[in-house]
């Protein structure tokens, strides 16, 4: 565990190599599916060409077995038709769209728990040209329209296997009103540095206090490595960049821990850049808690309802969040300390 007061170590994430790559017949019919096939063949990964378009045989004896097998499996499929009808995603962006579903990392608070169905196999979409071609209809002509691509995946964590994030960035570089946003806990940015993005993609890094990241974010790059990757995207790639501090947790020494994080950010992002900040506190639902406990039965993540307050959404669903006093203290701290270090950065939202 990194100690407070010392700059955290740059630990690059090992590129994820699945133990099995499944292709559905429909995916192999797609030129983009063939492009992914060439990539995984070149990497020497075991390939399984399925006879049918449904993924089967993914369940193990226990939920934990199912999780472990799924997280070692890549499935190349076509996006479900329903995903071509976009949904809004406030406060992050106007619309969300998906180039994949699932993620090779092992964050014990994972945002996908409870929102995805079935075993958490990493599915990547072979019909990418169709997915991208569908977006223009959602632009508000004459005003900027933003599209978030990281709601169901970490797109950089699988980029070496797909090339799909680079293709999306190239596509948005040709658009008049459409702007792409993505976020990652990985650092393999090399393949994105020379793309013709035209300023239409904002690259963001998801970061946290080192002790939270080291304890809860398995399989990711260290926070220092993520910030270094973000620096390269801004400085060498010329992209607008952003930092998502999430999930914020009031751990016992939170002021010291987050002060160190903000100091590391300001030391690494010390150049003139277009920077935004998003601030997200930890929350969970009864459903996400159940899924997370089945995936990580020994987790040290605080999922104690009695230390939270209930927040209801307009559909009656509930989530457990920190109480108003804690939220106020955290928010005041972050807004003050960010303004002090990054006077020109825009804080997009606090939640």
Interface residues with ligand SF4 (CB under 6 A) are: 103, 105-107, 110-112, 154, 185
User: Cβ neighbours of residue 182 under 8 Å, at least 6 residues apart?
Assistant: 148, 149, 150, 155, 156, 165, 168, 201, 202, 203, 204
Closest CA to 202 of 301, 93, 113: 93
Beta bridge partners of 347: 277
The H-assigned helical ranges of 112-163 are: 128-133, 159-162
Between residues 180 and 246, which has the closer beta carbon with respect to ligand SF4? Answer: 246
Minimum separation from the CB atom of position 109 to ligand SF4 (A): 7
Minimum separation from the CB atom of position 112 to ligand SF4 (A): 5
Rounded Cα gap, residues 101 and 79, in angstroms:
9
User: Cβ neighbours of residue 197 under 8 Å, at least 6 residues apart?
Assistant: 169, 170, 172, 173, 237, 238, 239
Between residues 77 and 105, which has the closer beta carbon with respect to ligand SF4? Answer: 105
Burial of 202 from C-beta contacts in 10 A (0-12 / 13-18 / 19+): buried
How many Cα atoms are found within 13 Å in the side-chain-facing hemisphere of 168? 30
Between residues 113 and 132, which has the closer beta carbon with respect to ligand SF4? Answer: 113
Name the DSSP class of 153.
B
The tokens of 313 are what?
């959404």
Between residues 139 and 187, which has the closer beta carbon with respect to ligand SF4? Answer: 187
Between residues 33 and 102, which has the closer beta carbon with respect to ligand SF4? Answer: 102
Between residues 112 and 280, which has the closer beta carbon with respect to ligand SF4? Answer: 112
Minimum separation from the CB atom of position 113 to ligand SF4 (A): 8
Minimum separation from the CB atom of position 143 to ligand SF4 (A): 30
Minimum separation from the CB atom of position 66 to ligand SF4 (A): 16
Backbone φ, ψ for residue 282 (5° rounding): -75, 140
Cβ(139)–Cβ(94) under 8 Å? no
Minimum separation from the CB atom of position 111 to ligand SF4 (A): 5
Closest CA to 304 of 327, 328, 321, 326: 321
Cα 333 to Cα 247, 302, 350: the distances in Å are 15, 21, 12
Minimum separation from the CB atom of position 231 to ligand SF4 (A): 20
DSSP string, 211-251: HHHHHHEETS--HHHHHHHHHHHHHTT---EEEEEEEE---
Between residues 71 and 231, which has the closer beta carbon with respect to ligand SF4? Answer: 71
- Cβ neighbours around 94 below 10 Å, total: 20
Minimum separation from the CB atom of position 103 to ligand SF4 (A): 3
Between residues 98 and 185, which has the closer beta carbon with respect to ligand SF4? Answer: 185
Classify 91 as helix, strand or coil: coil
Minimum separation from the CB atom of position 105 to ligand SF4 (A): 4
Between residues 106 and 160, which has the closer beta carbon with respect to ligand SF4? Answer: 106
């Amino acid at each position: 565990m990194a100690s407070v007061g010392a700059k955290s170590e740059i630990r690059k994430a090992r590129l994820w190599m699945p133990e099995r790559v499944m292709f559905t017949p429909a995916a192999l019919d797609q030129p983009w599916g063939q492009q992914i096939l060439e990539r995984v063949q070149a990497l020497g990964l075991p390939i399984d060409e399925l006879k049918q378009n449904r993924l089967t045989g993914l369940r193990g004896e226990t939920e934990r077995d199912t999780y472990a097998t799924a997280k070692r499996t890549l499935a190349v499929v076509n996006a479900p038709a329903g995903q071509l009808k976009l949904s809004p995603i406030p406060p992050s962006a106007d619309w969300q769209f998906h180039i994949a579903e699932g993620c090779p990392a092992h964050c014990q608070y994972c945002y996908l728990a409870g929102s995805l169905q079935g075993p958490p196999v990493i599915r990547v979409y072979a019909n990418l040209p169709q997915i991208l071609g569908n977006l223009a209809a959602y632009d508000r002509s004459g005003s900027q329209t933003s599209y978030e691509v990281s709601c169901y995946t970490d797109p950089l964590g699988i980029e070496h296997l797909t090339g799909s994030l680079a293709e999306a960035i190239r596509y948005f570089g040709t658009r008049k009103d459409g702007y792409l946003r993505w976020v990652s806990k990985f650092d393999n940015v090399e393949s994105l540095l020379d793309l013709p993005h035209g300023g239409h993609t904002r690259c963001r890094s998801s970061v946290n206090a080192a002790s939270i990241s080291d304890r809860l974010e398995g399989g990711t790059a260290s926070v220092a490595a993520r910030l270094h990757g973000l620096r390269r995207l801004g400085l060498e790639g010329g992209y607008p960049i952003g930092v998502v501090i999430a999930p914020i947790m009031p751990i016992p020494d939170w002021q010291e821990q987050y002060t160190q994080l903000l100091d590391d950010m300001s030391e690494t992002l010390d150049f003139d850049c277009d920077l935004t900040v998003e601030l997200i506190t930890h929350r969970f639902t009864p459903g996400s808690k159940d899924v997370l406990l089945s995936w990580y039965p020994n987790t040290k993540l605080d999922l104690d309802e009695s230390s939270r307050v209930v927040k209801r959404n307009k559909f009656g669903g509930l989530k457990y969040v920190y109480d108003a006093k804690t939220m106020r203290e955290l928010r005041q701290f972050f807004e003050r300390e960010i303004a002090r270090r990054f006077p020109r950065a825009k804080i997009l939202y606090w939640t």
